[in-house]
Amino acid sequence: MKMKSNGKPASRIAGMGWFAPDKILTNTDLERMVDTSDEWITTRTGIKRRHIVEPGTRASELATPAARSAMDEAGVNPEDIDMILVATVTGDYKFPSTAIFLQANLGAKNAVAMDISAACAGYLYTLHFADMMIRSGQAKTVLVVGVEVLTSMINWKDRSTCVLFGDAAGAAVVVPSADNRGILASYLGTDGSLADLLNCPGGGSAYPAMNREIPMEDFTIHMKGNEVFKHAVKKMGDAAVIALDLAGIEKNDIDLLFAHQANMRIIDATAKRLKVPQKKVFKNIQEYGNTSTASIPLAMGEARQKGLITDDSVVVCVAFGGGFTWASSVIRF
Ligand SMILES: CC(C)(COP(=O)(O)OP(=O)(O)OC[C@H]1O[C@@H](n2cnc3c(N)ncnc32)[C@H](O)[C@@H]1OP(=O)(O)O)[C@@H](O)C(=O)NCCC(=O)NCCS
């Protein structure tokens, strides 16, 4: 699925926000839990710490402050919001959606609310659909959120996955664009034939939670890391190139690259493919680990707060996740 604005963006990001819990789990903490080392985690992933919730914390509790910050920056009131799209694979309940809890928390009584499940690419999917809703005239103010409580589905005995993930939320308010600033192009892709490489099977209709014979491990993340790695490197590079092409933006004109913070080596490979120098590659994986759908909006929110995204900045966002799913966007601020 592709969107090309031909220099006339339909929508722009008017505000961004993020939230990460205070509690920190370091590589040294993990050394005491599983057979791993700070050295292995740092060199193979780039991760040093991750922020994690207290058990029982709901995804909507992280999404709400992130959304409020985005709304503050955008200067919108809860009643102004027409639509709330939440990307998550670790929502509060199986149903209703996490978006409806967020709607209630914010008092966004005029908003239609729903979740999108597209794993780590989910946030860029919501951004695309927000743009489409505004483009079609169905909505004027869309709140998009990526939020994960990944610690709720981690197997703390599996060293190949438990060292990778953290909890966080990121949000943006998307409104109509009046000039050449906004979402210039986006691209979404899916390949459902590779679902076995990364998933959490338990709790759905295939392996219902009430079936006591299903092992607890089936309610946690399963990943064939090295195979996912190869696909992620290829697809993220390809997706970024496609979105740039659609936007008519040259690689040299990229001001900042936001690649899904899953592994430092994947981020670096994507930057190399795009010939983007390190100083233009935003990284916060060392602090938060892989926060799945929250990864891109968390990175963008932090970069904005640090003054790295300014008026006229051209940013490229690219993500890849279970499914497989992948997505990219080119945005002029
Ligand atoms: C998970 C990941 C960090 C593993 O790194 P890797 O270099 O591929 O490592 P491998 O899985 O090949 O494992 C190499 C060795 O390290 C070991 N290992 C795995 N996790 C370890 C850990 N936490 N500590 C120490 N050793 C570990 C393995 O057991 C294996 O040992 P062996 O060679 O004796 O069998 C990496 O594959 C990755 O980032 N994958 C992609 C994740 C991703 O992109 N996700 C996107 C969507 S969320």
Give Cβ neighbours of residue 190 (< 8 Å, ≥ 6 apart).
118, 323, 324, 325, 326
* Token pair in block for residue 157: 């005995």
- How much distance in Å is there from the Cα of 226 to the middle of ligand 1? 6
Task: Give the separation between CA 234 and CA 230, rounded to whole angstroms.
Answer: 6
For a substitution probing ligand 1, which of 226, 260, 265 has the most ligand atoms within 8 Å of its CB? 226
The closest residue, in CA terms, to atom 18 on ligand 1 is 160
Per-residue pLDDT of the chain (333 residues; tens, 9 = 90+): 999 988 899 999 999 999 999 999 999 999 999 999 999 999 999 999 999 999 999 999 999 999 999 999 999 999 999 999 999 999 999 999 999 999 999 999 999 999 999 999 999 999 999 999 999 999 999 999 999 999 999 999 999 999 999 999 999 999 999 999 999 999 999 999 999 999 999 999 999 999 989 999 999 999 999 999 999 999 999 999 999 999 999 999 999 999 999 999 999 999 999 999 999 999 999 999 999 999 999 999 999 999 999 999 999 999 999 999 999 999 999
Give pLDDT, residue 7: 82
| Residue 317 bears catalytic tag | no
Q: What is the CA angle 174-259-6, rounded to 5?
A: 50
3-state class of 319 per DSSP? strand
Pocket of ligand 1 (CB under 6 A): 36, 40-41, 44-45, 120, 159-160, 163, 225-226, 228-229, 232, 262-263, 266, 290, 320-321
Q: Cα–Cα distances in Å, from 270 out to 195, 203, 223, 294? A: 23, 34, 21, 19
Q: What is the CA angle 69-74-78, rounded to 5?
A: 70
Burial of residue 255, with CB atoms counted within 10 A of its CB: 0-12 exposed, 13-18 middle, 19 or more buried: middle
| Residue 260 bears catalytic tag | yes
Reply yes or no: is the peptide bond before residue 324 cis, omega within 30 of 0: yes
Give pLDDT, residue 1: 94
pLDDT one-digit tens code per residue, 58-100: 999 999 999 999 999 999 999 999 999 999 999 999 999 999 9
* Token pair in block for residue 196: 């076995």
Q: Cα–Cα distances in Å, from 124 out to 80, 169, 212, 259? A: 22, 14, 36, 11
The one catalytic residue among 51, 128, 222, 260: 260
Measuring CA to CA, which residue among 45, 44, 47 is closest to residue 28?
Answer: 47
32: Cα separation from own chain's centroid: 29
Give pLDDT, residue 290: 98
pLDDT one-digit tens code per residue, 152-174: 999 999 999 999 999 999 999 99
Output DSSP code: residue 66.
H
* Token pair in block for residue 5: 């604005």
Could you tell me the domains of the chain? 1-333 (3.40.47.10)
> 301 near 66, Cβ under 8 Å?
yes
Q: How many other C-beta atoms lie within 10 A of the C-beta of residue 317?
A: 28
The one catalytic residue among 27, 263, 284, 290: 290
Whole-structure pTM over 0.85, yes or no? yes
> 224 near 7, Cβ under 8 Å?
no
Give pLDDT, residue 30: 98
State the closest ligand 1 atom to the C-alpha of 290, by its place in the atom list counted from 1: 48
* Token pair in block for residue 6: 């031909």
Give pLDDT, residue 107: 98
Task: Report CA dihedral (200, 320, 181, 11) to the nearest 10 degrees.
Answer: -40
The one catalytic residue among 27, 51, 120, 317: 120
Give Cβ neighbours of residue 206 (< 8 Å, ≥ 6 apart).
none
